[in-house]
Amino acid sequence: MEKKELLKNEQIERILSPHPLSFMKLQALCIFVIVWGIVVWWLTQFSAYKGIFGGNGWYPLILWGLVLLLVGVVASLVAIQWSIFFLYLGVFAGGLGLVFWQHWENESTLFLLVYSIAVSIVGFLIVEFYRRSHKYIISNLRIMFKGGVLTKRERTIRYDKIADIDAKQGILGQIFGFGTIIPVSESGLGLGSDTSMAAGGLAVGSQKAKLFGFAGGGKEVQTPIARSYYELHGVYPYKEIKQLVEGLVQTHVPTQYQKEQIEFQKQQVDIQKQMRDLLHKQVSEKPRKKVVKNAVEEEEPEEEDSEEEEKIPVKRKEKDEEAFAQEQVDIQQQMKELLKKQMTAHAVEKEEEEGEEENEEEETDKEEKEVA
């Protein structure tokens, strides 16, 4: 990954790619082609049933093609992916085309063996290229997914936008220590739907549902599904990566205590604003009063009799001061309460932490005792 792609203060934690066995579903398709090719060769050349195929060169080809297509249909129904059937159909059509073109009807058994091996090798290579095109970058700020052989695809997800983490580990993954982690975003990226039809087969789209699902009812289930370049597909070591991602998500998502603190800070700001407004008021009132006072002082030698009139602004001044003081007291009271709340929240947090530490210590003591 180039440095210029990194954000400010971004550090890369891990760069990963899928485990070689993580695309076993695709590799299994190639393994079947190769195994079936060998079995057909053995059946027609060495088995006790070779006499059946002796008469006609087309028989082995028909048997090979029929079983291949049948397996393709079954695999497509199980995986809800018709591309498997069309892939096998392509392999069958290719073989048939080559036999017609080169007139290899009489050497069809040997051709099938060689063709199966060649097709499987090509298949393995394509799967390997596809696997190698994946790159997952885990940084301290986000996860970047890069993939695609011809069309480059990229997805970036920030830890604070991860709503849920789905993790799965198949049997092969459990044995070899790899697994898939799907970070589901708040917008729902990473979620897919499994659609099935009850009696008519399966429905992938509404049009296909009409074709295959004429007798059944549809059922859609929302599950965490993503393309291999939108998820951490078959990453190794699974447990370590899962812990790392979960830890990073945890650090980027505010805890309850942090949320409370943010709320306190907001309230503090509000109170400070109130205080500032009050001070503004006080300051804006003062010059007016000063002016009034000066005017009174200037008038004093001339009009000594007007004592009653003088008392009015003084009273007003006292009233204003009282009001300001009251407001100040209120604000101070609010501030005090807020600080108290903050202090208690902090103390609770500390106690919880200490409790957790004590528990951990107890557990370690227990473990040490057990070990001893």
> Would you tell me which residues interact with another protein (CB under 8 A)?
38-39, 42, 46-47, 171, 174-177
Provide, rounded to whole angstroms, the least separation between the CB of residue 98 and another protein: 25
- Angle of helix 83-102 relative to helix 58-79, nearest 10 degrees, comes to 170
Nearer to another protein, 177 or 192 (CB): 177
Q: How far apart are CA 338 and CA 336, in angstroms?
A: 5
Q: Can you point out the beta strands (E) in 148-250?
A: 153-158, 162-168, 179-185, 191-197, 218-224, 232-235
As measured in angstroms, the least distance from the Cβ of 42 to another protein is: 6
Whether 58 contacts 108, CB under 8 Å: yes
Closest approach, Cβ 225 to another protein, in A, equals: 22
H or E element in which residue 16 lies: strand 12-16
Nearer to another protein, 117 or 189 (CB): 117
**Cα 42 to Cα 38, 69, 103, 115, distances in angstroms:** 6, 20, 22, 15
Pick 103 or 369: Cβ nearer another protein: 369
User: In the complex with another protein, which residue's Cβ is closer, 39 or 189?
Assistant: 39
Alpha carbon separation from 182 to 77, 103, 144 (Å, rounded): 24, 50, 12
Residue 350 CB, nearest approach to another protein (Å): 36
Cβ atoms within 10 A of the Cβ of 306, count? 12
Listed in sequence order, the residues at least 6 apart from 240 whose beta carbon sits closer than 8 Å to its beta carbon are: none
Q: How far apart are CA 135 and CA 76, in angstroms?
A: 28
**Beta carbon of residue 35, minimum distance to another protein (angstroms, whole number):** 8
Closest approach of Cβ 130 to another protein, in Å? Answer: 23
What is the closest distance, in whole angstroms, from the C-beta atom of residue 349 to another protein in the complex?
Answer: 36
Nearer to another protein, 171 or 283 (CB): 171
Which helix or strand (DSSP H or E) is residue 297 part of? helix 256-299
Residue partners of 261: CB distance under 8 A and separation at least 6? 342, 345
Nearer to another protein, 31 or 345 (CB): 31
Of 174 and 206, the one with the shorter C-beta distance to another protein is 174
CB of residue 176 to another protein, shortest distance in Å: 5
Q: Which residues contact 116 (CB under 8 A, 6 or more apart)?
A: 33, 34, 36, 37, 38, 40
* CA distances from residue 247 to 141, 192, 233, 289 in whole angstroms, order as listed: 12, 25, 19, 61
Identify which of residues 27 and 195 has a Cβ nearer to another protein in the complex.
27
Q: Which is nearer to another protein, 302 or 370 (CB)?
A: 370
**Exposed, middle or buried by CB within 10 Å (0-12, 13-18, 19+), for 19?**
buried
Q: How far is the CB of 71 from another protein (least distance, A)?
A: 16
Residues near 348 by beta carbon (within 8 Å), at least 6 away in sequence: none
Dihedral angle computed from the Cα positions of residues 59, 62, 67 and 69, in that order, rounded to the nearest 10 degrees: 180
